[in-house]
Chain A
Amino acid sequence: MNVNAPMVGKLVSVDVQLGDAVKKNDPVATIEAMKMFVKIYAPGDGTVKEIKVSPGDVINPETVIMVLE
C-alpha cells in the first residue's frame, strides 16, 4: 500500500520508522506547504516496509512517500 501526499510540499520529517506498525489515519510524515505543516496520514493498517523520501525532498501527489505492507 503506497502512502501519498494530498498536495505538493517539502518533506519536513518522516514520523515513523521501518518496521513500525501503523493504523489507518495515523500520522506518518509531515510536509510543509502553504505556510503550514501538513500531516500525512496512513491510508490503511500496515507495517512500514520501505521509506522512499528524505527531509527536504519536494513531494507531489504522485510521489510515493513510503510503502506499507
Chain B
Amino acid sequence: MRKIYEELAQKKEKIRQMGGEKAVAGQKKSGKWTARERIEYFFDPGTFTEIGPFVKHRITAFGMAEKDVPAEGVVVGYGRVNGRMVMAAAEDYTSMAGTFGEYHGKKFAQAIDMAKEMGIPFVGMNDSGGARLQEGMDTLEAYAWLFRSQNLASGIIPQIALLMGPCLGGQAYHPVMQDFVLQCRKTGFMGIAGPAFVKTQLGIDIDLETLCGVEAHAVKSGCTHLVVEDDRDCLDKTKELLNFLPQNNREKPARLECTDDPNRPVPELDGLVPEHSLMPYDMHDIIHRIVDNGYFFEIMKDFAKNVIIGFARFNGRSTGVVASQPNWMGGVIDCDAADKVARFVRFCDLFNIPLVNIHDTPAFMIGPYEEWKGILRHGAKMLYAYIDATVPKVTLIIRKSFAGAYLGMCCKDTGADLVFAWPEATVTIVGAETAASVIFAKEIKNAENPEEVRAKRIQEYRDLYENPYRAAERGYIDDVIMPHETRKYICGALDLLENKSVARPWRKHSNINL
C-alpha cells in the first residue's frame, strides 16, 4: 500500500513543479508570478481545491506523445475569496507556454460550466502563448467550447478576466466576452493578432506593447476595464471588485454594515457647481462626497472620460454609479461614452445592482464625426439599456440635462423610479439661444433692433424653461432638493426600492442596437 501512496505524492509534486525550475525562473524574471502563486495569493488561505491536475492531452503528432504538460497548462479549482466561493482557472505559462489545446480548453470550459451550475463567480487568469498549433482542429474546436460555456454563463454568474500575460489571437475573445477585464500594466497583452502576424499580413511594423498593451485597450479600444500595476495589484483589485457583486443573478450583492450616516448632510455641495453655466467642474467631487465613506471604485476611467462609471455604496448597498463628466468634452455623450454606459447598465441590471444616474450633460454629440460614426446607433444603446433594466434606478440632475441626453441618461420615463434635481438644474428640449432663434426667427429678422429682440426672447425662454420646475410640475422630477440633502435622498430612495419588482411580458430579448 505504501508504494501507491508514494507514487501519488510524487506525481502530484511533479505537477506542482509546473514547467520545471528553469521555466519558473524565467516566469519570475519577466516580473510575473507563477499560476500557482497567483492562485495561492488569490484564495483565502487553505481554501483552494484543485480539479483535474492529471488531465492530459491526447495528441501524438509532432512529438507530442512524449510531451508532458503539467496540469495541461492551466490550474483549475475552487475556494473562498473574501469568504465566498469562487471558481478560477489560471494559465501556466511555464508549462508549454500555457498554450491552449483541446484538454486545456476542456478544463477551462468545464470550470465555467461548473461555476454556472453552482452559481459562483468565475475568474480566469490569462497567461498563454496562444493556440497549441500541434493539435490543429482539436484546438480550434476547444475555443468554441470555451466561448459557448462563457456565453451560457453570462448573466448568470459574474465572470472576470485577468490579463496577467499575453492572450493573442481568437483566444482574446475569451477575456473580452467576460464582464470585466483587468490588465496588468507591464505584462498583460490582448489582441486579435500579435505584431508578427500584423507584419506578415499587413506589412505594418508595430511592437507588442503599442498594439496590445494598456494604452491600446484601456484608452483607445475600451476593451479593458481596469489597469493594474502587477500581479498582486491585479488580484487585490479583483477581490475588491468581487465585494460589490453577488454570487449569481438570483442573489443581491452583500449589504455591508454602513459606518457613514445615510442622512449625512453634505454642505460643501451647496455652491459647488460654478454659477457660469459654461464652466466645467470635476464630477468626482460630487460622487466622492455622496457615497459611503467617499469610496468609489471607478471602472474604465481612461476611456470615454466624458462619462464616469463605477461601483460605490449607499447605506451599505452596492450601487452602480453612472455620471456625466463636465470636465471632459463638457460631459457630452459620444459613441464611446454611450457604449461604456450601456454595457455597465446592463451588467448592473443582470446582477441586481441598483443604479444612480447623475446628469450634467448638454447633449448627444452632434456633427459629421459622430454622426458618421453612428451616434444614433450607439446612443440608442443607452436608451435600450435603461428602459430594459428592471433594477432600482435613481436619477439626480445636477445642472444641464437637455434633449436626447436627458432621455439617454435615464429620465423618469426611460426608466428612473425616482428623479431628484438640484435648483441649478436646467431640464428642457434645447438651450434658450437655439430655441429663441427658431421660434422668433421672423420677429427677430423684422425687428428694428434685432439684437435687442433676440436677447429679450432668449431671456424669456430661459426664464420659462431653463430650470427644474417645469419638469417638476409635470411630475417628471419628483422633487427639487438642496444639494446638501442629496445623500439622504438617494439612500432613502434605495430603501424604498429595495424590493422593487417588475413584471413584463415574455420575449426573447429586446433588439438593442449593437
Contacts and interface: CB of A to CB of B under 8 A. Distances in A.
A7 B337 CA distance: 13
B366 A34 contact: yes
A56 interface: no
Contacts of A32: 278
Interface in A21-69: 32-39, 60-61
Contacts of B365: 7, 34
Contacts of B213: none
B369 A34 contact: no
B460 to A, nearest CB: 18
B435 interface: no
Interface string B322-335: 00001111111010
Given A34-B362, A36-B278, A36-B280, A61 B369 contact: yes
A35 B400 contact: yes
B1 to A, nearest CB: 67
B311 to A, nearest CB: 25
Closest 6 CB pairs of A and B: A36-B330, A34-B362, A35-B362, A37-B278, A34-B332, A38-B330
- Interface size of B as a range: 20 to 34
Interface of A: 6-8, 32-39, 60-61
Nearest to B370: A7
Contacts of A7: 329, 332, 334, 365, 369
Contacts of A39: 280, 327
B431 interface: yes
Given A7-B334, A60-B369, A35 B277 contact: yes
A37 to B, nearest CB: 5
A8 B367 contact: yes
Interface in B90-144: none
B425 interface: no
B222 to A, nearest CB: 14
Nearest to A5: B329
Contact of A38 (B277, B329, B366, B402): B329
A6 B277 CA distance: 21
Nearest to B430: A35
A60 B369 CA distance: 9
B328 A36 contact: no
B123 to A, nearest CB: 33
B280 A37 contact: yes
B301 to A, nearest CB: 13
B76 to A, nearest CB: 42
A33 B331 CA distance: 11
A12 to B, nearest CB: 9
30 contacts: A6-B329, A7-B332, A7-B334, A7-B365, A7-B369, A8-B367, A32-B278, A33-B329, A33-B332, A34-B330, A34-B332, A34-B362, A35-B278, A35-B362, A36-B278, A36-B280, A36-B326, A36-B329, A36-B330, A36-B331, A36-B362, A36-B400, A37-B278, A37-B280, A37-B330, A38-B328, A38-B329, A38-B330, A39-B280, A60-B369
Given A6-B328, A7-B332, A37 B400 contact: no
A8 B332 CA distance: 12
B328 A34 contact: no
Interface in B297-322: none
Contacts of B280: 36-39
A36 to B, nearest CB: 3
B160 interface: no
Contacts of A8: 367, 369
Nearest to B426: A35
B279 interface: yes
Contacts of A35: 277-278, 330, 362-363, 400, 402, 431
Interface string B250-290: 00000000000000000000000000011110000000000
B275 to A, nearest CB: 13
Given A35-B330, A35-B362, A39-B327, 20 more contacts: A6-B328, A7-B332, A8-B367, A8-B369, A33-B329, A33-B330, A35-B278, A35-B363, A35-B402, A35-B431, A36-B278, A36-B331, A36-B332, A37-B279, A37-B330, A38-B280, A38-B328, A38-B329, A39-B280, A61-B369
